[in-house]
Structure 1
Amino acid sequence: MTMVASSAIADTTNPDWARIRADFPLLTREVQGKPLIYLDSANTGQKPASVIESVDDFYRHHNANVSRAVHTLGTEATDAYEGARNKLAGFLRVRADELVLCSGTTFALNLVAYSWALPRLQPGDSILVSRMEHHANIVPWQLVAERTGGRIKVAELMPDGSLDLPALYAAMTSEVKLLALAHVSNVLGTVNPVREICREARRRGIVTVVDGSQAAPHRSLDVASIGCDFYAITGHKMCGPTGTGALWARREHLQAMPPFIGGGEMIREVSFEGTVFNDAPHKFEAGTPNIAGFIGLGAAVDYLQGVGMDHIEARESALLAHATEELQKIEGLRIFGNAPEKAAVISFLIEGAHSHDLATLLDLEGVAIRSGQHCAHPLLQSLGVAATCRASLAFYNTHDEIERFVVALRKSRSLLA
């Protein structure tokens, strides 16, 4: 298959951030007659040209289904699809045969809920989650708890938005069978010490599920060393196409879990008397997958690794520090989440301004931020607010954009005063 080259990085020791930014076509457009300032990467990441071109190349030159044909196109499609699995496994530092390709973190967490938790939980068992979880890491566990007679326990937060670790460990009592936790909060930006937490859970015999949606795009990962049982990611947040993601699971879990969805490609043999399922991870991948999307995700992995995840984390840390410093100068502005270790996410409110009104006025200035509850209703309820604005940064943002964002924010605030 044609390899689409990226113009990204010539010097991996000192990335040219202006050149890297130029790899993202959408960032050159205007919105409302103003240059776009895209500050919504926690919602979805923008795509470099190499990702877009890899998807286009597949449909133009290689389009065929995977694992079903011996003709040339089928072989090319299968090789590229499985190649993407191998790339993603290398990115996460896990075995490819422990990586289930799926539509994203929501599907991955539901897979754990229905294939691992549902057959195992008993009345009186508990699932422990934190207050900061995304709905995708709450609702599946509620549905399973209702069907098994289990219940949900909640680990609370410190005032700065970090987990109350002593309280979390105290909540790991004998009836807790599973702990579900975000690696990075999509609202607060809090980076949880997942390795330490998983170690404590494992000592107590608790299975751990980590939502890595907000971690994978922004930091170097070694999932196997975290010590969790399951780790879920979403491709569209890491510069890949929508409808892509993966669940990593320990091999023993994948072998013991029944399939979540039945159909083609997840079987070895079918008769009306019964079915023999394929080996994991393929037994969890029923039907025709998003082939082009995963090829694009493979290209996104290549791109991120070309930039260097350590460079990305350092760049975003610098952007976060700059944005936080400037926002703190605005009278009446409150930032939610000030944990010592924090990703480049800033949720905020300005006194007297509704979040939706503020986001609408910022859009008129070409600034794209998120407003609302960010699929984290329980967290915002605990913060005592109905909604917040959220500016989320990525390595393709610039310090100049931060300055222009702050100017637009001050202008919007004055209009709402």
Structure 2
Amino acid sequence: MANTLLTSDMIAKEALMQFKNSLGFTKGANRQYNDKFAVSGAKIGNKIDIRKPQRFQVTDGATVSKQDVVNEVVSLTLDSRKHVAFQFSSQELTLDIDRFSETYVAPAAHALANKVDIDGLAKAAVVANAVGTPGTTPSSLSIAGQARAKLNQYAAPSNGRSIILGSDEMTGLVDGAQALFNPTKEIARQYEDGFIGRARGFDWRESENIKLHTVGAQGGTPVVNGASQTGSSLNTDGWTASVTGLLKEGDVFTIADVYAVNPVSFQSTGKLQQFVVTSDVNSDGSGEASLGIYPAIITSGATQTVSAAPVDNAAITVLGSSGAITTLGLAYHKDAFIFGCADLEMPKNVDMAARAVDKESGLSIRFVRYYDGDEDQLISRLDVLYGWLAARPEWACRVQG
């Protein structure tokens, strides 16, 4: 029986399947495929507009109280173009797809998926909600309950939630949680794999791509410098003078008597609002420092974030000791982070070319093989074009360890 030659379509579809199956963090995120580039092909810098749901306030009585409609549209920029290039002979096109995939397609697709996940997990730096102690590996599933409470307080939907942790954190939680589960066949398999599966309202995933964060140097007795500050910056003083790396991008802190509010009821949650530092900070010679922060301090209206603006000299408390190194695992609802993917242009006059798209999973990948006259070689490549957006960081929570 004659061998059937592999086609570019077969290779592209196999690459898409392997790429999809290799994703970790991205599987739990909102994946958006935009077909407006299907004909012309998308390029670096193209944007996809994402509209956020409205947030309204409830009014008492029969008299109408009209509210302004705040159309929050955020743009996801397709700013990442990644590829894996490799070579194979025409003779190898006679292999069956499984053998060909094992040798070439699966490793290439896995490498691409790994990079996509790394880029997505870098968005942990913009998440302000945090549980756990930096530098201390969690050993109890109670930390998942704490993360779930955070998401509930910010009105994140109860479905579509995931937790992703590093291997050390996952192992500690699996070992610490054995007494909480019945020894069923499924649970026993989960322990063998070091993977918890579904627990405490989350789908649990394991990854070695979890971001590490080093807490800033800090120093002094920091306080708010000036009453009634609002917005995305905060003037502070009381720090040790002239400290470089006082706070690092991604550090989390709270302000005395500044409480978070539920975004639906606008009632205080009774928990101090956590803020994340958006860029590295140094103190000046007087121990003063201006902090870029997220979320912004907003005290009223449909986008209210806190119960009240801070008073002058309100105490600031940074989460974690100076120089502590922590993993940034994440508990998140799928709409906290959006992965956008679009079709790349199909080149002409090449040896092989095909594109595979899965609109349901929001993925697109392109396979091309072409002749390189300079090197006198046939070169194959798999390409993806994508971007990440932290659309609702409040629907995510760091699980630190």
| Fold match (TM-score > 0.5) | no
TM-score, length basis structure 1: 0.25
- As a proportion of its length, which structure holds more strand? 2
User: Greater CA radius of gyration, 1 or 2?
Assistant: 2
- As a proportion of its length, which structure holds more helix? 1
Higher relative contact order (CA 8 A, sep 6+): 2
